[in-house]
C-alpha cells in the first residue's frame, strides 16, 4: 500500500479523537473555485500550544489495527474496515514534509494496539525520538499513550512530547466492562498518577535551573458521551477527580457518533450535541468559577438542563442567594451571577473601588443586561422581588418553542 493510501486511511481513522476537534468537521473545500478555505484535509487539526496559540497539527494513527474490541470504536478488532499501518520512518517523513511546507506546526499521534501495548508504545516513542534527536524537530508533539504499556515507555514518551494523554473513554468501570471490556479504570488511573508525578518532577527540575530538560508539560484525556447510560453527574464527578488528583489539563467530552456496522449494544443515534456543549460549560464552572459537582448536579437531577446553561440553571434553583449587590459582594459570590464572566468580575472589582457601579457601567463592559438584571443590584437598579420569584423567570431565558417543519 502506498503512503498516500495509508495517509487517507489513518488520518481519517484519527478523526474520532476529540482533542483536536476540527479534524472531525464535515469535509469542505474550495476546489470548485467558489468560497475560501477548507476543512477535513489529510488529517490536519487544530490544538492549543502551552502558550495559548492555536496551532495546526498533523493528526494520525500509527495504525488502525487493534487487538482490543471497544464497541464504540471503528477500529475495534471485529470492525470490517480497511486496515493500514505506518512505519515509524513514514510518520517521521510525513511530519517533516508537512512541516517544511508550512502546513503544520506539530504532530498528534495516536494508535490502535498492535501485538501488545509495549510494542505499540515502542513504535510511538521511536517516531518522537527520531523527530527530536535525529532531525532536531522543535515543533509541537502530542502523544496518546496506552495505560497498559510499561511505565518506562510512557515516561520516555513524555520526555519527547509537549503534551501526553491517556483516554479514559468512559466514566465508570461498569461502563468499561460493558463497552470496552479489555480496559481497566484502575490501571488507567495508575498510569495517570505516574505521569502526574513525572510532570511535577520535571517542573521542579526546570524551576531549579535545569533549562536543558525537555519534558511534556501537561496531560489530558477524553471521554465518550452518550454511548451508554452514564449520566452527566458520572462524567463531571470523574472529571472533578481527574482535575484534583491527577492535575489533568483538560478533559475532552466527545459526543458518541454512530459508526458504520455498529455493535448491537450501542445506541442508534448520537446524543444531542448540546449535551457535549453543556458538559464543557459545567466543566468550566468547576475549574474557573468555584462550583462543586454536587452544586451543578444532584442525585435527583443527574443530567444537565439542555435548555439553559448550567450557571443560569443553578441560579434559578438557588434564587434565595440573589440579588447580589455588585458594590459589596465578594469575588466568589459575583462569579456565580449568570452573565458575569471571570474577566468582567475582576473589572467590576477594580471599578467599584473608584465609584458606585451603575447599569451603564455594566453595559460598557458588554455584560448582557437582559441576563444579569434579575440577579444583581447596582446603585440605580434593584430587581423587583416578584421578578426573581416568578415562575416566568425560567421561561424568559429558555429557548422559545419552535414549530416543527411542515412535511408535504
Ligand atoms: S483500544 Fe483504542 S483503537 Fe483499540 S478498539 Fe479500543 S478505542 Fe479503538
Which tens digit of pLDDT belongs to each residue from 51-103? 666 778 899 999 999 999 999 998 999 988 999 999 999 999 999 999 998 88
Q: Write down the pLDDT at residue 391.
A: 76
Confidence of residue 220 (pLDDT cuts 50, 70, 90): very high
The answer to whether residue 140 sits within a structural domain is yes
Q: Write down the pLDDT at residue 20.
A: 52
pLDDT surpassing 50 at residue 245: yes
The answer to whether residue 282 sits within a structural domain is yes
Is the domain of 260 the same as that of 315?
no
Peptide bond into 323 cis (omega under 30): yes
Ligand 1 pocket, residue 71 CB under 6 Å:
no
Q: Which residue puts its alpha carbon closest to atom 6 of ligand 1?
A: 70
Is the domain of 230 the same as that of 117?
yes
Distance CA 16, CA 112 (A): 12
Is the domain of 194 the same as that of 72?
yes
Is the domain of 265 the same as that of 353?
no
Is the domain of 346 the same as that of 240?
no
Is the domain of 263 the same as that of 366?
no
Is the domain of 240 the same as that of 286?
yes
Is the domain of 374 the same as that of 279?
no
Tell me which H or E stretch contains 45.
Answer: strand 44-48
151-160 helix and 117-129 helix, angle to the nearest 10 degrees = 20
Task: Find the CATH number of the domain harbouring 48.
Answer: 3.20.20.70
CA of 112 to the centre of ligand 1 (A): 6
Distance CA 166, CA 251 (A): 10
For a pLDDT cut of 90, what percent of the chain falls above it?
68
Domain that holds residue 357: 310-397
pTM, two decimal places: 0.86
The answer to whether residue 344 sits within a structural domain is yes
Cβ-in-10-Å burial (0-12, 13-18, 19+) of 330 comes to exposed
The answer to whether residue 141 sits within a structural domain is yes
Average confidence score pLDDT of the chain = 88
Top mutation candidate among 9, 76, 84, 180 for ligand 1, by most atoms within 8 Å of CB: 76
Is the domain of 95 the same as that of 207?
yes
Which tens digit of pLDDT belongs to each residue from 168-184? 999 999 999 999 999 99
Could you say which DSSP state residue 247 is in?
A: -
Is the domain of 337 the same as that of 285?
no
The answer to whether residue 407 sits within a structural domain is no
Is the domain of 164 the same as that of 214?
yes
Atom of ligand 1 nearest to the CA of 66: 4
Which tens digit of pLDDT belongs to each residue from 331-385? 999 999 999 999 999 999 999 999 999 999 999 999 999 999 999 999 999 988 7
CA atoms within 13 A on the CB side of 267: 14
Cell numbers at residue 88, please?
515509524
Cβ pair 297, 233 in contact under 8 A: yes
The answer to whether residue 302 sits within a structural domain is no
Mean pLDDT on 300-306: 95
- 183 contact partners, CB below 8 Å, separation of at least 6: 68, 70, 147, 169, 176
55 bridge partner residues = 47
Number of domains making up the chain: 2
Amino acid at each position: 500500500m502506498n503512503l498516500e493510501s495509508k495517509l487517507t486511511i489513518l488520518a481519517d481513522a484519527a478523526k474520532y479523537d476529540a482533542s483536536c476537534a476540527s479534524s472531525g468537521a464535515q469535509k469542505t473545500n474550495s476546489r470548485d473555485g467558489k468560497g475560501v478555505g477548507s476543512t477535513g484535509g489529510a488529517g490536519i487539526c487544530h490544538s492549543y500550544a502551552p502558550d495559548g496559540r492555536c496551532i495546526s497539527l498533523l493528526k494520525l494513527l500509527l495504525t488502525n489495527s487493534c487487538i482490543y474490541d471497544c464497541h464504540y470504536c471503528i477500529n475495534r478488532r471485529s470492525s470490517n474496515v480497511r486496515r493500514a499501518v505506518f512505519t515509524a520512518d513514514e510518520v517521521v517523513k510525513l511530519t517533516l514534509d508537512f512541516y517544511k511546507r508550512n502546513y503544520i506546526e506539530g504532530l498528534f499521534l495516536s494508535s490502535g494496539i498492535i501485538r501488545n501495548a509495549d510494542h505499540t508504545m515502542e513504535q510511538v516513542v521511536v517516531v518522537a525520538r527520531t523527530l527530536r534527536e535525529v532531525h532536531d524537530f522543535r515543533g509541537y508533539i502530542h502523544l496518546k499513550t496506552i495505560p497498559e504499556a510499561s511505565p518506562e515507555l510512557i515516561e520516555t514518551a513524555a520526555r519527547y512530547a509537549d503534551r501526553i494523554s491517556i483516554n479514559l473513554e468512559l466514566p465508570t468501570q461498569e461502563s468499561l466492562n460493558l463497552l470496552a471490556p479489555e480496559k481497566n479504570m484502575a490501571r488507567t488511573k495508575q498510569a495517570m498518577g505516574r505521569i502526574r508525578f513525572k510532570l511535577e518532577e520535571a517542573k521542579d527540575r526546570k524551576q531549579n535551573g535545569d533549562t536543558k530538560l525537555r519534558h511534556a508539560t501537561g496531560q489530558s484525556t477524553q471521554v465518550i458521551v452518550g454511548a451508554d447510560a452514564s449520566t452527566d453527574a458520572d462524567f463531571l464527578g470523574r472529571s472533578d477527580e481527574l482535575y484534583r488528583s491527577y492535575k489533568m489539563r483538560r478533559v475532552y467530552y466527545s459526543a458518541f457518533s454512530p459508526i458504520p456496522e455498529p455493535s448491537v449494544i450501542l445506541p442508534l443515534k448520537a446524543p444531542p450535541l448540546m449535551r457535549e456543549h453543556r458538559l464543557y460549560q459545567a466543566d468550566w464552572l468547576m475549574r474557573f468559577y468555584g462550583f462543586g459537582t454536587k452544586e451543578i448536579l444532584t442525585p435527583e437531577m443527574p443530567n444537565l438542563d439542555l435548555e439553559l446553561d448550567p450557571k443560569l440553571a443553578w441560579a434559578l434553583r438557588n434564587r434565595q442567594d440573589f440579588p447580589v449587590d455588585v458594590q459589596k459582594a465578594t469575588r466568589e459570590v459575583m462569579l456565580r451571577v449568570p452573565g458575569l464572566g471571570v474577566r468582567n468580575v475582576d473589572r467590576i472589582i477594580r471599578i467599584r473601588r473608584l465609584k458606585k457601579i451603575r447599569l451603564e457601567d455594566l453595559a460598557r463592559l458588554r455584560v448582557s443586561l437582559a441576563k444579569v438584571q434579575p440577579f444583581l443590584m447596582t446603585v440605580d437598579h434593584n430587581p423587583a422581588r416578584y421578578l426573581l420569584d416568578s415562575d416566568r423567570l425560567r421561561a424568559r431565558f429558555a429557548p422559545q418553542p419552535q414549530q416543527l417543519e411542515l412535511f408535504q
